[in-house]
Each structure stands twice: as structure tokens, then as C-alpha cells.
């Protein structure tokens, strides 16, 4: 049921069923609504096609396995959220209260891990005394895949995107040395004396 909370590990990890009609942290394009949802879904689809093309090209060119792993995680997470965005509300309705349209679905988030919550110390600048929840976002498995994939890419960027790795994956950018043999032959021929055919 929408809004239901199921404790898993005490108070610091719960299943919390919510619907997110925006991006990460609930951010929305153009204030949400039909136009914002359509643009967000189409953007996700385009980015996924580009990511799939890049992954296939990297596999064919024997890119670093860590890059392939991180790209696969990001692409899997993006596809998971796209499935929700495109189909959710059309093939599924929570308590028959939500019927959406194609490409206007909401992404289902369910993992909630408030590791700590309480009031911050009064001496802390700006936020002193305020109530604070450490790690308050509610997320899903697709979000976790994207986060881990990006983290692996950042950590291993020196190996994944080194000059040697890029040349191995996409071919060397160095141009082949010019073929000077023909030029030398033509130069040698031009320097030969030609017979004088003019009458003496």
C-alpha cells in the first residue's frame, strides 16, 4: 500500500513504498506535470541508447573490465527507472487509485535507511539545533546500481580513461607514417637527364 513502512533492521533500514514522479531527491523538470514527465522519460531513453552504444563499442574493443562493469550497472539502473516511467500506472495501479498514461509513470522507491536522526548540537553554525536525518533519501535498486556504477567509474578513472586504455578501446589516434617510397622514386626519376630530341 502506498506510504506503508515495513521495518527490516530496526529503525535504520526500512521498506517504505512511495511513488517518485521526478528525478533523484524528487526534483522535477519544469515543475513536474505532463510535459515535465514526458521530457524526463524521453531524456532517460535517449541517454540509455547512448549508454548502450558506448557499452557495446567498449566490449568490442576490449575496454577495461572495470569500465564495462560500471557502464553495465549505470545502464541497468537507467533501464529499471525507464520501465517504471513508461509502464507504471498503465499495467499497475495501487489500490486502483492511480491510473497513468504511457511515458508518464512514476518511479517506485522503497529503500529507506535513516542511519541517524535527531537534533544537531546548538554550537553548530547555520544548522545548530535543527532536526536532521542522516541519509534521508528513499531509493530503489535501480538508483543503487547507478550510484555504485558511477562510484566505480570515478574511483577507477585513472585506469579506465588512461591514454593507453582509450587507444586500446577505440583505436590509436596516431596517424600512420607517410609512405615516402613513392615520393623518393618520383624524385629520383625527375632528376634523371632526359635525352635531347631536338635536332642539332
Which residues are the active-site residues?
Answer: 109, 143
**What is the Cβ-side half-sphere exposure of residue 170, based on CA atoms within 13 angstroms?**
10
Rounded CA separation 84/110 (Å): 13
Question: 138 in helix, strand or coil?
Answer: strand
- Residue 56, judged by CB atoms within 10 A of its CB (0-12, 13-18, 19+), counts as exposed
Task: Using CB atoms within 10 Å of the CB of residue 101, give its burial: 0 to 12 exposed, 13 to 18 middle, 19+ buried.
Answer: exposed
Strand order in the sheet with 14-20: 5-7, 14-20, 107-112, 138-139
Amino acid at each position: 500500500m502506498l506510504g506503508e513502512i515495513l521495518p527490516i533492521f530496526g529503525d535504520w533500514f526500512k521498506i517504505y513504498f512511495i511513488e517518485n514522479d521526478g528525478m533523484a531527491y524528487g526534483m522535477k523538470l519544469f515543475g513536474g506535470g505532463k510535459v515535465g514527465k514526458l521530457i524526463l522519460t524521453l531524456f532517460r531513453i535517449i541517454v540509455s541508447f547512448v549508454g548502450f552504444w558506448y557499452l557495446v563499442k567498449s566490449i568490442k574493443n576490449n575496454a577495461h573490465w572495470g569500465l564495462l562493469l560500471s557502464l553495465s550497472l549505470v545502464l541497468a539502473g537507467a533501464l529499471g527507472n525507464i520501465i517504471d516511467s513508461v509502464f507504471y500506472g498503465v499495467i499497475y495501479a495501487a489500490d486502483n487509485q492511480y491510473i497513468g498514461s504511457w511515458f508518464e509513470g512514476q518511479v517506485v522507491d522503497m529503500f529507506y535507511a535513516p542511519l541517524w536522526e535527531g537534533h544537531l548540537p546548538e554550537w553548530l553554525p547555520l544548522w545548530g539545533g535543527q532536526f536532521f536525518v542522516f541519509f534521508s533519501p528513499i531509493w530503489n535498486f535501480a538508483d543503487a546500481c547507478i550510484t555504485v556504477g558511477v562510484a566505480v567509474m570515478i574511483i577507477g578513472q585513472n585506469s579506465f580513461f588512461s591514454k593507453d586504455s582509450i587507444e586500446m578501446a577505440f583505436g590509436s589516434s596516431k596517424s600512420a607514417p607517410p609512405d615516402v617510397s613513392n615520393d623518393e622514386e618520383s624524385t629520383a626519376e625527375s632528376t634523371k637527364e632526359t635525352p635531347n630530341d631536338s635536332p642539332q
